[in-house]
Amino acid sequence: MAPSGSLAVPLAVLVLLLWGAPWTHGRRSNVRVITDENWRELLEGDWMIEFYAPWCPACQNLQPEWESFAEWGEDLEVNIAKVDVTEQPGTD
């Protein structure tokens, strides 16, 4: 039996959302986390670095895009990293 007309559209939208959802559970991030201990890595190669604060709404909105961008880092021959300026104030 086919779904009724009132359920067909929401069901189709749900299927499309689930099918296209980025499943990141258990997946390792390509974004390196820079700290006071490992900042010397920045002296080698080319880097794109996000300086962020976890409480910042704009920084939170950027996170999915930054993760997506990091997937291209190897192809672009650029290291992608981020620095939490609230935890690592000496690296900003």
d(CA 17, CA 7): 15
Q: Which of 49, 59, 62, 78 is catalytic?
A: 59
59 is catalytic: yes
Q: Which of 12, 56, 65, 76 is catalytic?
A: 56
**Number of Cβ within a 10 Å radius of residue 45:** 9
HSE-up (13 A, CA, CB side) for residue 14: 5
7 is catalytic: no
Catalytic residues: 56, 59
